[in-house]
A and B are shown apart, each in its own frame.
Chain A
Amino acid sequence: MFGLAKKDANLLLIVAGLVMLAPFILNPFPGESAMAQFNAGYPDLMQRFVIFGIFAIGFNLLFGLTGYLSFGHAAFLGVGSYAGVWMMKLLTINVIPAILISTLVAGIFSIAIGYISLRRSGIYFSILTLAFAQMSFALAASVLTPITGGETGLQTALSDPRILDSASSGGNIPSPAIFGMEMRDSAELVLGGWTFTFNVGYYLCAVVMILAFYTAIRIFRSPFGLMLRAIKSNQQRLNYTGLNTRPYMLACFVISGMYAGLAGGLMVSMDPLAGAERMQWTASGEVVLMTILGGAGTLIGPVLGAGMIKYFENIFSKINESVLHQWFAFMPDGLEDVIVAMLYPFIGKGWHLTLGIVFMLVVIFLPGGLVEGGQRIGAMFKRKAKADDKSSANVEPAE
């Protein structure tokens, strides 16, 4: 199906299903219940899930396939964001040109950075990409202020030309839209205690993400993907097999950069504001964490990792001390205080600590990331099922 092997087609369908039904799946608790704060089914966060999913899928094409660890991928995200906002300022408030140009500009930018950085491999490549990203960040925050808006960031304004749009309607800054449908428009479905929100912006991101995921599967399974995995495995043999690794690496780097640009374009389509902090090294580090946490080199891993980190960042960080006191209110006062004091460092602003511990545990015990965890659980059930078969058959000799 879709030119994919059965297993990959199934994976694609599962991902598509999950993404399309996310407003339900991420909203398991009724709005009034105490657990409602664990609901992640609101548009803003769901958009972030899929946008960072795209970012991580692209990063994984580079890191997972070739083993080249780029530490400056946020630069492409940032460049894409700026390009997107400029399109919405100059051309039209319709997000389609913005998204396309974001991808394109990030691609061109990554040709330049890749051409230089790929002269080195290993840690030196990482440092070069990091240096370029930090330079981009510093430039965007200072000397390039006329283009980037400096530290306040770049945003749309009422006085923007927008040459393709008809004269501005009323005194409001138009909000990003796709053929008249505004990104922030939502339909709500109220079912009992639940409120499900279906947001135009989210579904645009979701469709783009499914397409991006599909493309990534095709690249993974293609001869091009095979060569990239060969680069990771033994670059010397590849050279002596008559293959020029340089253009393979550059092509991969540019594709990866374009994914980041696409994510940046979608980000500003949801909220037309691009700031320099989006290019900072912490943002580059975040996508590395996402990919490793989920499972580098796997198809679904980066998406899971992105989802997990964004969930922690947005949900875990909102649990505060009074919420903890509510949860443990059934305990005797002294014990309640002790428990709350013990848990307090791990919640609210301490979510980084929890994430750090989870990350450490995953790297130590599941080097293949969350995907490996899933596979182990799957294998456990299979083995159990087999053992059951054996004991019922009972006559089979031991192997």
Chain B
Amino acid sequence: MGILEVKGVGKRFGGLQALGDVNLSVAENSVHAIIGPNGAGKSTLLNCLIGKLIPDTGSVTFEGQSVLGRTPYEICQMGISRVFQTPEIFTDLNVMENMLIPCFAKRDGAFAMNAIGSVTSQAEVQDKAMQMLEDMNLADKRHMLTGSMSRGDKRRLEIAMCLSQDPRLLLLDEPTAGMARADTNNTIDLLKQIKEERDITIAIIEHDMHVVFSLAERITVLAQGTPLVEDTPENIKGHPKVREAYLGESVD
């Protein structure tokens, strides 16, 4: 049984059946990619996993516990972290402050009334944030306002923020969308490195086949709201159904 189990999930928006009957099992400590053409329901599926949408039918369980009906912060506290398509960071705060917030959330839970002691006096959290920044090569930028950083650095920081909470499942929504080639390759290397160094499961939604085939161990192809095939990258590459979904039916 996988760390994340999606069973019979369906979601309808008015007349549009965005997700039909999705079954998906993400094995622990694997990199699982979900690909599919535009409108296949990738983002809808992701939103069902992190509590932004509640599916009409089916169940989603993480480590045996249902995530349905839970709010995003509860799901995060369960151990699922999400990286957004456009990096979502605190643009008015500096890099260090950005890093401190998830560290506090990890230590204190969803709410804590720490209104008297200063941020700088919390040595253990400071050390943890600093360690994480060093691991991610962001330490020398720690006083920089994040709004002025490059796209690649923002992405790196966002991933660092997610990792500082020691999630067991990292969800990435098109992590290289809109990136230059060099930044894309950096992100791939970063994710590979994370995979090697940590016990972590990564689920990734991606358009860029280069990214998918350099990272994924399993691939699920989604088309029109239902999973078409699930297989290893090698088998997916030549799969006739996949070609059909991406390129249209053959003429004969």
B50 an interface residue at 8 Å Cβ cutoff? yes
B161 an interface residue at 8 Å Cβ cutoff? yes
B118 an interface residue at 8 Å Cβ cutoff? yes
* Bound-state Cα–Cα, A247 to B108, Å: 14
* Bound-state Cα–Cα, A372 to B132, Å: 34
CB closest residue in chain B, given A3: B118
Residues from chain A with a CB closer than 8 A to the CB of B92 are 229, 232-233
Interface residues of B in 81-101 (CB under 8 A from A): 81-82, 84, 88-93, 97, 100-101
Among B93, B116, B118, B122, the one with the most A-chain Cβ atoms within 10 Å of its Cβ is B118
Q: Could you tell me the distance in whole angstroms from the C-beta of A132 to the nearest C-beta in chain B?
A: 24
Stretch among A24-32, A69-77, A142-150, A218-226 lining the B interface: A218-226
Tell me if A239 and B118 are in contact (CB < 8 A).
Answer: no
Task: Give how many A-B residue pairs fall within 8 Å (CB-CB).
Answer: 109
Known: A239-B72, A241-B76, A241-B105. A222 touches B90 (CB 8 A): no
* Bound-state Cα–Cα, A219 to B165, Å: 25
* Bound-state Cα–Cα, A237 to B92, Å: 13
A326 an interface residue at 8 Å Cβ cutoff? no
- Within 8 Å by CB of A240, from B72, B106, B121, B125, lies B72
A238 an interface residue at 8 Å Cβ cutoff? yes
Tell me if A218 and B116 are in contact (CB < 8 A).
Answer: yes
Residues from chain A with a CB closer than 8 A to the CB of B119 are 221-223, 225-226
* Bound-state Cα–Cα, A232 to B93, Å: 10
**0/1 string, B65-85, CB within 8 A of A gives 1:** 000000111001100011010
Known: A239-B71, A244-B110. A226 touches B115 (CB 8 A): no
A109 an interface residue at 8 Å Cβ cutoff? no
Tell me if A4 and B118 are in contact (CB < 8 A).
Answer: yes
* Bound-state Cα–Cα, A180 to B98, Å: 52
A242 an interface residue at 8 Å Cβ cutoff? yes
Tell me if B90 and A236 are in contact (CB < 8 A).
Answer: no
Tell me if A243 and B116 are in contact (CB < 8 A).
Answer: no
Residues from chain B with a CB closer than 8 A to the CB of A239 are 71-73, 76
A340 an interface residue at 8 Å Cβ cutoff? no
* Bound-state Cα–Cα, A236 to B91, Å: 12
* Bound-state Cα–Cα, A239 to B101, Å: 11
B250 an interface residue at 8 Å Cβ cutoff? no
Secondary structure at the A interface, as helix, strand, loop or mixed, is helix
**0/1 string, A244-276, CB within 8 A of B gives 1:** 110110010001000000000000000000000
Residues from chain B with a CB closer than 8 A to the CB of A243 are 73, 101, 105, 110-111
Q: Could you tell me the distance in whole angstroms from the C-beta of B190 to the nearest C-beta in chain A?
A: 19
* Bound-state Cα–Cα, A5 to B118, Å: 9
CB closest residue in chain A, given B91: A233
Among A223, A224, A230, A234, the one with the most B-chain Cβ atoms within 10 Å of its Cβ is A223
Tell me if A5 and B106 are in contact (CB < 8 A).
Answer: no
Tell me if A219 and B105 are in contact (CB < 8 A).
Answer: no
B117 an interface residue at 8 Å Cβ cutoff? yes
Known: A242-B106, A243-B111. A237 touches B118 (CB 8 A): no
Tell me if B76 and A242 are in contact (CB < 8 A).
Answer: yes
Q: Could you tell me the distance in whole angstroms from the C-beta of B223 to the nearest C-beta in chain A?
A: 28
**0/1 string, A362-384, CB within 8 A of B gives 1:** 00000000000000000000000
Q: Could you tell me the distance in whole angstroms from the C-beta of A267 to the nearest C-beta in chain B?
A: 26
CB closest residue in chain B, given A220: B118
* Bound-state Cα–Cα, A226 to B82, Å: 21
- Within 8 Å by CB of B88, from A219, A227, A234, lies A234
Q: Could you tell me the distance in whole angstroms from the C-beta of A154 to the nearest C-beta in chain B?
A: 33
- Within 8 Å by CB of B89, from A219, A234, A245, A247, lies A234
B112 an interface residue at 8 Å Cβ cutoff? yes
Residues from chain B with a CB closer than 8 A to the CB of A251 are 113, 115
Residues from chain A with a CB closer than 8 A to the CB of B91 are 233-234
Q: Could you tell me the distance in whole angstroms from the C-beta of A82 to the nearest C-beta in chain B?
A: 28
Tell me if A222 and B89 are in contact (CB < 8 A).
Answer: no
Residues from chain B with a CB closer than 8 A to the CB of A240 are 50, 72-73, 76, 81-82, 84, 88
Residues from chain B with a CB closer than 8 A to the CB of A5 are 118, 120
Tell me if A241 and B101 are in contact (CB < 8 A).
Answer: yes
Q: Could you tell me the distance in whole angstroms from the C-beta of B225 to the nearest C-beta in chain A?
A: 24
- Within 8 Å by CB of B115, from A218, A233, A242, lies A218
Q: Could you tell me the distance in whole angstroms from the C-beta of B58 to the nearest C-beta in chain A?
A: 22
Tell me if B111 and A247 are in contact (CB < 8 A).
Answer: yes
B104 an interface residue at 8 Å Cβ cutoff? yes
B150 an interface residue at 8 Å Cβ cutoff? no
Interface residues of A (CB under 8 A from B): 3-5, 218-219, 221-227, 229-230, 232-234, 236-245, 247-248, 251, 255
Q: Given A5-B118, A223-B119, list of 11 further CB < 8 A pairs?
A: A218-B116, A219-B115, A222-B116, A222-B119, A232-B92, A233-B91, A234-B91, A237-B90, A239-B72, A240-B84, A251-B115
Would you list 17 pairs from A and B whose C-beta atoms are within 8 A, ordered by A residue?
A222-B115, A222-B116, A222-B117, A223-B108, A223-B119, A229-B93, A229-B97, A233-B92, A234-B90, A237-B88, A239-B73, A240-B76, A240-B81, A241-B73, A242-B105, A242-B106, A243-B111
